[in-house]
A and B are shown apart, each in its own frame.
Chain A
């Protein structure tokens, strides 16, 4: 807040809507399962949605001020939005958390590792990616540079995780777009989408980061950005609008939306997979609860002959967070590990041999969790499976 006001004070009316019913952290009706990952980790109610609303109300009522302890509770949140999804009053709880984060960031009360990760020197501000890789290496995975910075209507926004940590995902999506007959380009000077800044309450820096991409896309004349990362997609689809009141001058779509539409139009089909392969699907929180995309990945999986989709008990709006969200791994590694272990156990219990997701961060988290659990479950991004299964049925457009 540049005017010296606290962001939280503008949400007093929203905060007072909470009637403390506890639906935000208890999903017991789904069975013997955890509810909110932060509550599961933190034990005390101050880690829950209701707890954070108690704290927010104490803040707006002047009964307390921001402290490091409040920061601990607010940032120990995967931003999975399960609380908002189950709120009895349909309160957008995450708006309140975002305001608290913004205020905490303005007071230099970010948890230490997150603060370092987002820093201008030695962090995101310097490297423009959360892995602190050099900008020159961002496209090192590319087989050739023929598509870089060429004029095209579609931009493949690679994202930091695919560019630096899971380059096979970038390659698979690259191949998938080619197979689907999409004429696309890749930006040579791609920056972080800005999503991590939002998780750290640094709205100004998030705006600047998104603006960088907007300028680059304008130069290329593109009309559509394609993502494999829901966090990146949301930054341009929704966050930019919320930050500035203006829509981005292009369409931001997840590749599975694109492919599901082509499947529906009969433009693509799937090759036969190993018969009777049981596959379960993990809904990324940002793709599902934040953006409402639940059907597209399921339609694609079901379209693969031989694949047998089996749901985990917690799916779609009730899906449990894998622990990758909210940048919590920086300062709450144990919480991230606990959520990941829970999710792998839930997936294993379905009898599936493979768990798919549609988010590089979720996939990376689930892969690490599988390793720790010594599980035999195979973890893949849905685009990776589709890259081997897709076959175009019509001429390229």
Chain B
């Protein structure tokens, strides 16, 4: 190990490499519920060339790498003891704002919202506002996990708006995707589908198992002129979901969130709630939000004060979905949340909710025993489908409650993924419940991993790929 550390120090500079226990202990776990091992060394490169050299050194020493952006994911598999922890947060520069080609190129460790703020100064914005972790998560990490963003209905997934990537492959080679791949033509990143297969797609949502994303070129747009908001309460989840589907058919929302479980918005009655955000030209926004009002009224929706929707959209704080300031909402939330989530056709959300509510009833005694709290059964609606996420909170100090929390997640995941759903952007922690169900698709990914990463260097075990397969 000492010779590996010397090599890493030679690559990055000794001050950017640490094998001190204090530094290694701080890189053992992400925001998920599962502790990992302690890495052997933490290394913080500042350039793509350094990342490449680190990956080559890892291969020479047969030592796995775990990639660390801001580690706000729920990866859950944990970090392998004795690995190289590749922390990318120093690679955080905005490389180029290209307004002619509607693109911004950033280093992988740039914080999502920080990039958006720089664009906003010029009247532009990233093509999606970012995910729940937008204030702290890195662009590279969000792309690697293909996180589910705000604005899902209008703008699609995080990965939908990637134009080009710079990636260090598991053997240390550096590749460029899309139009940027044509280095003879200057490597300008302006079009994703430029040179045959969509190579970027291999890395989007791959959780870092096929390569280390070191630079991202992302689509940008002029900030829309108008935003309008609507907020409705419904007598039942079923009716609210019918309304949501009607809104999807009319392509009304830029963003739409449904609240189907957990605490109700403060001071409101009703069983289910829809927050609707519309962004457009002023006339277009007025027309669309009028359509929203008409559709919701047609389903006996009761109009609520849309100030809550606006606060949520402006501040991107989930607490406002429930009419509650963040300090009130989060301060008494207990401990860890083993999030489970799934994409599904909108019409299937009804069945999923029935399952979840039955589960609550059937396991009421265990919930009480372990202090389990339902934070939410919320849905981000996409253009044509629904992303349901299930936040169950439990007191992690209680080992039995912690085990029960993980069991609940396993139960939910097994049920949902066996019925009609797939986990979407938070695939990694749910991999044991989805990858084996993919059959030949999983086999294909295993072949790819074995070919690209024969030594099992990059994030081995994540997505159930690369751990012990190469040998």
A67 touches B22 (CB 8 A): yes
Interface pick from B164-172, B266-274, B333-341: B333-341
A58 touches B25 (CB 8 A): yes
Instruction: Tell me which residues from 40 to 81 in chain A have a Cβ below 8 Å from any Cβ of chain B.
Output: 43-46, 48, 50-51, 54-55, 58, 63-64, 67, 69-70, 72-73
| B239 within 8 Å of A (CB atoms) | no
Q: Report the minimum CB–CB distance from B365 to chain A (whole Å).
A: 25
Interface string of A1-33 (1 = CB under 8 A from B): 000000000001100110111110010111110
- Give the residues in chain B near A29, CB-CB below 8 Å: 111, 113-114, 117, 135
| B136 within 8 Å of A (CB atoms) | yes
- Give the residues in chain A near B396, CB-CB below 8 Å: 16
Q: Report the minimum CB–CB distance from A65 to chain B (whole Å).
A: 10
A31, A43, A64, most chain B CB atoms within 10 A = A43
Among A12, A13, A30, A64, the residue within 8 A (CB) of B25 is A64
B327 touches A90 (CB 8 A): yes
B27 touches A28 (CB 8 A): no
- Give the residues in chain A near B326, CB-CB below 8 Å: 88
**Which residue of chain B has its CB nearest to the CB of A30?**
B117
A45, A64, A69, A72, most chain B CB atoms within 10 A = A45
A88 touches B114 (CB 8 A): no
- Give the residues in chain A near B25, CB-CB below 8 Å: 46, 54-55, 58, 63-64
- Give the residues in chain A near B330, CB-CB below 8 Å: 88-90
- Give the residues in chain A near B34, CB-CB below 8 Å: none
Interface pick from B12-20, B255-263, B354-362: B12-20
- Give the residues in chain A near B18, CB-CB below 8 Å: 44
Number of interface residues of A (CB under 8 A): 35
Alpha-carbon gap, A12 to B117, bound state (A): 37
A20 touches B23 (CB 8 A): no
- Give the residues in chain A near B336, CB-CB below 8 Å: 19
Q: Report the minimum CB–CB distance from A41 to chain B (whole Å).
A: 12
Alpha-carbon gap, A54 to B30, bound state (A): 11
Q: Report the minimum CB–CB distance from A75 to chain B (whole Å).
A: 13
Alpha-carbon gap, A185 to B20, bound state (A): 53
B397 touches A70 (CB 8 A): no
Alpha-carbon gap, A309 to B20, bound state (A): 46
Alpha-carbon gap, A20 to B79, bound state (A): 15
B26 touches A55 (CB 8 A): yes
B26 touches A51 (CB 8 A): yes
- Give the residues in chain A near B26, CB-CB below 8 Å: 44-46, 48, 50-51, 54-55
A23 touches B136 (CB 8 A): yes
Alpha-carbon gap, A43 to B87, bound state (A): 11
- Give the residues in chain A near B15, CB-CB below 8 Å: 43
Alpha-carbon gap, A17 to B331, bound state (A): 9
- Give the residues in chain A near B87, CB-CB below 8 Å: 45
Q: Report the minimum CB–CB distance from B222 to chain A (whole Å).
A: 20
Q: Report the minimum CB–CB distance from A312 to chain B (whole Å).
A: 16
A32 touching B397 in the complex, CB below 8 Å, given contacts A19-B336, A26-B111, A44-B23: no
Alpha-carbon gap, A51 to B89, bound state (A): 14
Alpha-carbon gap, A17 to B330, bound state (A): 11
| B150 within 8 Å of A (CB atoms) | no
- Give the residues in chain A near B90, CB-CB below 8 Å: 43
A-B contact pairs, 17 of them (CB 8 A): A13-B397, A16-B395, A19-B335, A20-B71, A21-B72, A21-B136, A22-B70, A23-B135, A26-B135, A28-B135, A29-B113, A31-B114, A46-B25, A55-B22, A64-B21, A69-B20, A73-B22
The 5 closest A-B pairs by CB, nearest first: A28-B114, A28-B111, A90-B331, A51-B26, A22-B136
